[in-house]
């Protein structure tokens, strides 16, 4: 898995535009149920008008809503953004706190959002689990939990060293968007599922109960496209990733945008100074 991800995404860039921990926090708050491309569209104006917690805290709900109205759950997110900015000013001296516990006391900030900020803004090893990462962890048999996101995070963290968490988080996201989508997925053409999608070991009673179904399916399976082997991975990697939404951010597009030195590049570069 690591070999495939490193070949596809050697240096995965953060898909959300930001300039500092505060703007990253705002962008992540806006990203729930919204594509990163759509978030980047609205944060251009939002960050121009409110680049600091104090500036955002002074804005009215209607003003913020008018800027972010095209993102999902915009009214709630506008309230959370303003309330978070106010609490940053009142409780943390206008700075984003550097602990998971403190971050999760802010309005609208859960474990995933806090983990993204800790990793992306402060370089603290964290492995936030979003819908893409959860889906891939199940498909690749890296975790068994279908409902407990924290358990999935625990399972993934146990497989890699902490220094790899931040890069892997982004690699999983890009791969889930481009090759391993939730709908119309073709495991036989996936650079990982084609060879990693094997059944988990099961208990004897369960295995016995499935045996008849297994034999009945054998004939059909012989006529289906055969899964690729690891030797076929180079050819699979040549296939173009699928873009299911015009506002989703693909790896190649993001890298090209940063290379051109556009707005995203200026934001990312200023965040690293």
pLDDT tens-digit profile of 19-39? 999 999 999 999 999 999 999
Joined together, the tokens standing for residue 131 give: 């819908």
Distances from the Cα of 119 to the Cα of 66, 115, 141, 157, 223, angstroms: 30, 6, 25, 14, 46
Q: Is residue 58 in some structural domain?
A: yes
Q: Is residue 107 in some structural domain?
A: yes
Q: What sign for the dihedral angle of Cα 81, 83, 89, 92?
A: negative
pLDDT at 240: 67
Annotated catalytic residue within 36, 38, 77, 112? 112
Q: Is residue 222 in some structural domain?
A: no
Spatial distance between the Cα atoms of 84 and 103, rounded to a whole number of angstroms: 10
As to burial, measured by CB atoms within 10 angstroms (0-12 exposed, 13-18 middle, 19+ buried), residue 225 is exposed
Q: How many domains does the chain have?
A: 1
pLDDT at 267: 52
pLDDT in tens, 51-102: 999 999 999 999 999 999 999 999 999 999 999 999 999 999 999 999 999 9
Please report which confidence band the pLDDT of residue 271 belongs to, taking 50, 70 and 90 as the band edges: very low
Q: Is residue 163 in some structural domain?
A: no
**Is residue 220 pLDDT above 60, yes or no?**
no
246 in active site: no
Annotated catalytic residue within 6, 63, 130, 232? 130
At residue 63, φ and ψ (nearest 5 deg) are: -65, -45
Spatial distance between the Cα atoms of 87 and 91, rounded to a whole number of angstroms: 6
112 in active site: yes
Percent of the chain with pLDDT over 70: 79
Structural domain span for residue 69: 21-122
**Is residue 116 pLDDT above 70, yes or no?**
yes
């Amino acid at each position: 898995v690591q070999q495939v991800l490193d070949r596809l995404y050697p240096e995965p860039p953060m898909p959300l535009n930001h300039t500092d921990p505060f703007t990253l926090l705002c962008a992540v708050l806006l990203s729930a149920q919204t594509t990163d491309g759509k978030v980047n569209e609205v944060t251009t104006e939002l960050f121009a008008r409110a680049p600091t917690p104090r500036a955002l805290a002074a804005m009215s709900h209607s003003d913020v809503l008018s800027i972010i109205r095209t993102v999902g759950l915009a009214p709630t997110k506008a309230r959370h953004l303003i309330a978070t900015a106010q609490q940053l000013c009142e409780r943390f001296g206008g700075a984003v706190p550097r602990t998971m516990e403190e971050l999760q006391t802010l309005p609208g900030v859960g474990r995933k959002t806090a983990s993204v900020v800790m990793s992306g803004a402060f370089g603290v090893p964290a492995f936030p689990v979003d819908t893409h990462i959860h889906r891939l962890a199940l498909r690749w048999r890296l975790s068994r939990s279908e409902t407990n996101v924290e358990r999935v995070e625990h399972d993934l963290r146990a497989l890699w060293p902490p220094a790899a968490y931040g890069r892997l988080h982004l690699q999983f996201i890009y791969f889930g968007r481009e090759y391993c989508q939730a709908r119309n997925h073709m495991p036989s053409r996936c650079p990982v599922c084609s060879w990693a999608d094997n059944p988990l070991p099961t208990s004897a009673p369960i295995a016995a109960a499935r045996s008849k179904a297994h034999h009945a399916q054998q004939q059909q399976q012989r006529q289906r496209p055969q899964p690729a082997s690891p030797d076929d991975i180079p050819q699979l990697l040549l296939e173009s990733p699928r873009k299911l939404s015009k506002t989703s951010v693909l790896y190649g597009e993001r890298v090209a945008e940063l290379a051109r030195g556009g707005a995203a590049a200026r934001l990312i570069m200023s965040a690293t100074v």
